[in-house]
Chains A and B, each alone.
Chain A
Amino acid sequence: MATESLAPVAAITDLILGTLTIILANRAVNHDPHKRFTALLFGWTFIFIGAYYMIISVIELRYPDGVFGWSLIQFGTYAPTGNGTFDALVFMLYGLQAGINILTLALALHLPFDLGSGRGWTAAIIGGVGVYAITMPIVVIFGGFSITVVQSIMIFATSAIWTMIYIRGIVAELVHGDEEARSASKGAGLLLIAFYSGTMIWWLSTVMLANNAWFSGVISQMSESSSIFYLLGVETLWLSGLMPLVVVFLGEGYRTFKKGASLLSVVIFVVAVIGFINYFIDIAVTDILVSCYETECKELPAAYRVWETLTTGVLSFLFVPMLFVYILIQYRLIDTSSDENRNLLRIMILLLLLIVSSSFIEMIQSLIPVPQMVTASLLAIAVAFFIGWEERITGWFVDESTDGETVVGDTILAQSFSKFSVMMSVVLVYIITISWLFAAMGVGA
């Protein structure tokens, strides 16, 4: 039973959303400059994530035997193959990952709160993002790929900032009775899920050490022994998902008890349950996870792949873009007041929903032998539903909540927007160029 990859869908969705977000952010000259800049950060994060998934899709298509997981890039366990094109694509993934990491940190410093301000603040952010995105890929490619785990510190710091904002918001709401503080905890919670759900769904496996059993199989395939700092980096990455999950889960659990369920509480409970089930799945396949050194490398069962696609895949590839759009609109990061922008927004939302629903139907078809006529009908129903309820769906995304009012920041010079976009375009071209160049030179091989 082969499952369809959702990476191409995620690539297309993220690239379209990124382009539209950047257009909307640049167009809204009268909009709050802090929100515009945050939207721009979001747009470029979309573009980098979209480019990342696009390269994953190319690898899946052209090198089906060379397909690998997210962990290979995240933990730097890659060993160059000597195949120039393949190596170049993987080098690009390392570069894009570094870009995503620094953009995420920059986002955490701006949303839901602007944690810094002043004349030099935005310039420092733009400069910091640029310097990091330019130097880090070189450091990783030349320093040995495992050095990439040093970024775990930054990933954890980003997670800690949003966790702190969540705690601040939930305590203010539930302890001090400040109802408006909910928008802070909701924003931070949703952002944590959007960026960390991939590690959150292994929360129980982290606590119960099942992740280590899995990683021991990865260690056995590495050519050299790993230092304690490297192992610390690996664990820090798991922890950056575990800590916010536990905090948000407890916070939302208490809030649900006091005030009833919300979108955030439902999502965090689902993620927590997936993590709970994942641990027992880990236990069931432990023999396979350690087979590379205890017996001989064995393939994970097809059922595991199906589960992985239906949880990690759907969550990361389909749900996260929707969450991003929800945050963008709910927090008024893009101006939805003008008719022109609202039309673009409608296109954005409908496109997202249609892509996601059609991919989901296709994925179900690849898992269960449903006749094509049935899935075609289901898609037609979805299209009819989205068109008929378009106004309502858009309204749900753009409801008149007070969340947008909480996102405020200092004035940003108009030229900063264009400078940032130009810089990120240059960074993107730079990552592609150096990856081709160094792969062709056989660096790391």
Chain B
Amino acid sequence: MSNEESEAEFDFSGFTELLDDRTSNIVMVVALALSVVVLAYTTLDLANLNEEVRGLVEGDNNWDVSFELQSMTFQETVVMVDGEQRQLDFDVDPSDVPDGFRVGEIRAIITYGETSGLPADPADSVAANVPQTGMQAQWGDDNNTLSGSSNDASDIELLLRTHPGFTGQSVNASGLNEYQVLQPWLVEGFGTGTFSVVLELNTQSPPFLNDSDEEIVVNVEVVLFKPSATPV
């Protein structure tokens, strides 16, 4: 298949020589025909994928994220003497958190009454605060109530937000898919560890009578949530 020096301007005898064998041509035609078949079905598949993917990417990507709530409670009753300060620790173990749930916030309610039984004995004064521990939580959140006090036997309510953004209410979010939307709500580690409440008691007694202690009940509620997303 060689080409001799040609006097013509263009000489494509090389091409014609290449195509002058019937067996070779048949093989090539079969190869090309199979290529066309492959090209057709691969392109069709890619076109379908393209439609599906662009539908996801360009579609309405607004989602409503709602939360299924559960709670886990601890209760501890202590009797404290006048002037005493005591720290109560509550361990939130990751293994106690059900599958798919995360710790959203921790509430603590401190209740007490005047139990001395003395006539005209005024309610004692109780102060409570939640000191920062090694627990991963939103310690700087403006909605936290990390300290409180009472001198009229009313409940003291404390609140620590643990999971970022969690308020217990449904939220709107945007994202390509459910997985992406739920990702921020599936971060692990928040709200597990030790939650502490420090109590301080100052008793108040009527003149000439002695009220030197008080019984205080601390209820801790760990609010757990399981997120789910629905397109809106």
Contacts and interface: CB of A to CB of B under 8 A. Distances in A.
Nearest to A221: B57
Interface residues of A, number: 54
Interface in B171-212: 176-177, 179-180, 183
A293 B56 contact: yes
A206 B45 CA distance: 11
A155 B31 CA distance: 16
A184 B5 CA distance: 20
Contacts of B99: none
A217 to B, nearest CB: 8
A219 B13 contact: no
A387 B21 CA distance: 47
B11 A116 contact: yes
B46 A172 contact: no
Interface string B108-145: 00000000000000000000000000000000000000
B18 A115 contact: yes
B27 interface: yes
Contact of B50 (A168, A225, A236, A247): A225
Contacts of A165: 18
Main SS class of interface, B: helix
B6 interface: yes
A282 interface: no
Contact-residue size bin, chain B (C-beta under 8 Å from the other chain): 35 or more
Given A409-B3, A410-B6, A168 B21 contact: yes
A36 B23 CA distance: 33
A153 to B, nearest CB: 12
Contacts of B15: 115-116
Interface in A1-15: none
Contact of B43 (A116, A117, A216, A231): A231
Interface stretch (B34-42, B63-71, B223-231): B34-42
A294 B13 CA distance: 55
A215 interface: yes
Contacts of A167: 24, 27-28, 31
B165 to A, nearest CB: 18
A35 to B, nearest CB: 12
Nearest to B177: A294
Given A168-B21, A171-B21, A219-B54, A228 B43 contact: yes
Contacts of B43: 228, 231-232, 235
Contact of A219 (B3, B42, B53, B180): B53
A211 B35 CA distance: 16
A117 B53 contact: no
Most B CB contacts (10 A, CB to CB) among A209, A211, A231 go to: A231
Contact of A212 (B11, B23, B45, B177): B45
Contacts of B11: 116-118, 121, 410
B226 to A, nearest CB: 19
A164 B53 contact: no
A118 B1 CA distance: 16
B23 A171 contact: yes
A411 interface: yes
Closest 7 CB pairs of A and B: A115-B14, A118-B11, A295-B179, A120-B9, A216-B49, A408-B2, A117-B3
Interface of A: 113-121, 124, 160, 163-165, 167-168, 171-172, 175-176, 184, 206-207, 209, 211-213, 215-216, 219-220, 225-226, 228, 231-232, 234-236, 238-239, 242-243, 246-247, 293-296, 406, 408-411
24 contacts: A115-B12, A117-B6, A117-B10, A117-B11, A117-B13, A118-B6, A118-B7, A118-B9, A175-B23, A206-B42, A209-B45, A215-B49, A219-B49, A225-B54, A231-B43, A232-B43, A238-B42, A239-B38, A294-B179, A295-B177, A406-B2, A409-B2, A409-B3, A410-B3
